[in-house]
Structure 1
């Protein structure tokens, strides 16, 4: 699978630059939170910083029209280069007066705002680089697998990097990787120049308001039966996973060592990695998504009732397996059924919905944990996931969903209410 994809030079450049950016993001997040905590010695400041970074993702839908209006590779280049400059400036302010901490937080917030462009534009580029349905699924599986490897390595060696080269140099390292990634994307944007694509100046002169373009993405989701049915489930999965996330520190404390905190996360990421790999052996159908939900509910139920950290790690690994399958298939299906000139808006909207559900899940989970034992809270989540899986299984539209043919997708493009926009890579 990997060899076939990586023999495509354009996809190889895309893959390497995206991987470099994700490594940089992982390093940056870890060293930033460590810096804030060590400087302020306040969990509240660290929590506020993390919230400021993650909260911006809820507004991803606002950049959707930009992703569809302009070249996604150029937008990614701008996003990465500006982030590189901002992150490079952070260590230059470290060690200054305490008042500089506010300036650092402002810069961090600005960097997170520019990062909003990255993932919607990346998701749009995949079907443009690999128009075949099989290629899209394989690309998402490879990318998701790589992301999990980065997550695992981040937990294993992140602290060692900070200790080995120092906090300031770790910021510089993250900035350098973002710069490298941005330059690769810049080269891609120059080499990919389809003759059928209109210039950005022509696109900018087309009639229509930003708000109208934004509403076109919402309208497509509302008209597409598959997306409309699946919409609550996109939010629900993150909502319920947030409940799991807030219980893990307590389990680690009960186990008597913070190392178990990392081990549970690593087991989950390994599971997601495995799910991303086996997806190529499974049918690419809606019924697989429904069955993965059911398997996830069973795994979470086992996680709740099992005693012993190693049994819980096994259960959470199986849960990660289901998550990997769901992530790859749902992302691939959206990219396939959505017309390219609407893909940026649709993906941005779904990203906003998924990220908005995380804090609500954590809030509800925290409230439930005040009234019930953790095992009960987790069992409630497991039951909700199981019910969701069976609901998906009973809905014929989902159960019988298969990839559409290219000619069907072209028909969808004509009927999706497109504004006549053209797209670039």
Structure 2
């Protein structure tokens, strides 16, 4: 293999390159909105803590509502079409926010509806793209592919909040949301440039949607490794949602920081996540993919305890750097466990596996943000964040107690042969 090939890796792959450019554009816009949308609620609509936390609740509620059927539906459809349709739908929904603001019609109920429906489309997009990657690249390239896609998200986490903070300061939060709407149009354009044509997975007979949902559930729950990953990730997401539902309130309202400074601080978190993405393959190759799934959390989670004690001055910077270290570990964890899940699953079950996992692990996010909102409303922002940081410490427990530490995961055929429609087409 030439030095050029080693250096560029999957970036020399045309279809993967289109996917990663699409993700880059979309995630940059989304990071702007992650900052701008709560600031619309806080600064424009003057919403109290509980209503601000509800935005995050509605954002992830879709994973509880449509998470499971989305996987079965995605397995019946061409995944590229799902990606394009989800991008276009989110562009329209987010574009309605600056329009309503300009007409003086903007309200919290509209923000909730937009966030919820965008979340539904995000469910379909995320399930489809995680199921699409194994079609585009070889199995031995999955860690690299996931690492590069994760790196894109984390670069966006660095630049997005800083750009978003500047835009909010210059043109206001509603107009900043408009850029995210435009980013989804750009994402759809590049996804449409992918050349590879999917082959439909063979099905001995058309089954009902409920049966296909149950196949995905059985596949995940019957495998002790996948089951443990689901439990650990659900735990981590629940407590991180409690903590993160209060971050903007801490920075904007408690500490009184400007949008520009908030964006800069959130960019520090992105630096930690980017470092995790860039080092994930090297770390997993050296220490083992299965080992890093739990070690990454054990080592980095304690740094999150600094965040609830953030004060103006050096304590604020120390807290944000500590949370960046936690994001480093979380990124390595995500890349290792997603790659393992994809390798363990036959292609025609990828959508249902990913949807089942997303239902289980993202379904705790709205619950966590709702709990965070209640705690923040009645106990205060800092106590709510402390509950989240302490709970996050123990997210590694289900994985450590699973066979993941002791044995190699079962090959795909050993865990899937008893499911209807589990014949495996040739992986290209």
Interval containing the TM-score (normalised by the shorter chain): 0.7 to 0.9
Equivalent residue, structure 1, for 2:238? 239
- Residues 218 and 272 of structure 1: is their aligned pair in 2 closer, same or farther, counting only changes over 3 Å? same
Shift of 1:168: 6.8
Equivalent residue, structure 2, for 1:289? 293
Shift of 1:293: 2.1
Shift of 1:287: 1.8
Q: Deviations over 1:223-282 (max 9, x none)?
A: 112112232211111122234325646765899552676565433332222112211112
Equivalent residue, structure 2, for 1:277? 278
Shift of 1:222: 1.4
Using structure 2 for the length normalisation, give the TM-score: 0.80
Q: Distance in 1 between matches of 2:413 and 2:58?
A: 40
> Relative to structure 2, which stretch is displaced further, 210-219 or 94-103?
94-103
* Residue 73 (structure 1) aligned with residue 76 (structure 2): no
Q: Deviations over 1:110-161 (max 9, x none)?
A: 343323211110101111111223x111111111121122122222111323
Q: Distance in 2 between matches of 1:67 and 1:421?
A: 17
Shift of 1:52: 3.1
SS of equivalent residue, structure 1 residue 55: helix
5+ residue gaps, structure 2:
1-5
Equivalent residue, structure 2, for 1:300? 304
Equivalent residue, structure 2, for 1:209? 208
> What are the equivalent positions in structure 2 for 1:12-411 lying under 5 Å apart?
12-35=17-40, 40-43=45-48, 48-59=54-65, 60-96=67-103, 98=105, 106=113, 109-133=116-140, 135-162=141-168, 164=170, 170-188=176-194, 191-193=195-197, 197-198=199-200, 206-246=205-245, 248=247, 252=251, 256-258=255-257, 265-282=266-283, 283-301=287-305, 308-364=315-371, 378=386, 381-382=389-390, 387-389=394-396, 392-393=399-400, 395=402, 397-402=403-408, 408-410=411-413
- Residues 218 and 274 of structure 1: is their aligned pair in 2 closer, same or farther, counting only changes over 3 Å? same
Q: Distance in 2 between matches of 1:58 and 1:206?
A: 28
Q: Distance in 1 between matches of 2:398 and 2:41?
A: 44
5+ residue gaps, structure 1:
none
- Residues 313 and 87 of structure 1: is their aligned pair in 2 closer, same or farther, counting only changes over 3 Å? closer
> Relative to structure 2, which stretch is displaced further, 18-27 or 223-232?
18-27
SS of equivalent residue, structure 1 residue 187: coil
Q: Deviations over 1:192-245 (max 9, x none)?
A: 225xx249xx97x94210111111100101111211223221111112223432
- Residues 80 and 159 of structure 1: is their aligned pair in 2 closer, same or farther, counting only changes over 3 Å? same
Shift of 1:49: 4.7
Contact 1:292/1:326 (8 A) holds in 2: yes
Q: Distance in 2 between matches of 1:15 and 1:334?
A: 20
- Residues 9 and 215 of structure 1: is their aligned pair in 2 closer, same or farther, counting only changes over 3 Å? same
Q: Give the total of aligned pairs.
A: 412
SS of equivalent residue, structure 1 residue 308: helix
SS of equivalent residue, structure 2 residue 124: helix
Contact 1:65/1:210 (8 A) holds in 2: yes
Using structure 1 for the length normalisation, give the TM-score: 0.81
Q: Distance in 2 between matches of 1:41 and 1:27?
A: 20
Shift of 1:74: 1.0
Contact 1:233/1:388 (8 A) holds in 2: yes
Q: Distance in 1 between matches of 2:77 and 2:252?
A: 49
Compute the RMSD of aligned alpha carbons.
3.9
Contact 2:232/2:397 (8 A) holds in 1: no
- Residues 40 and 310 of structure 1: is their aligned pair in 2 closer, same or farther, counting only changes over 3 Å? closer
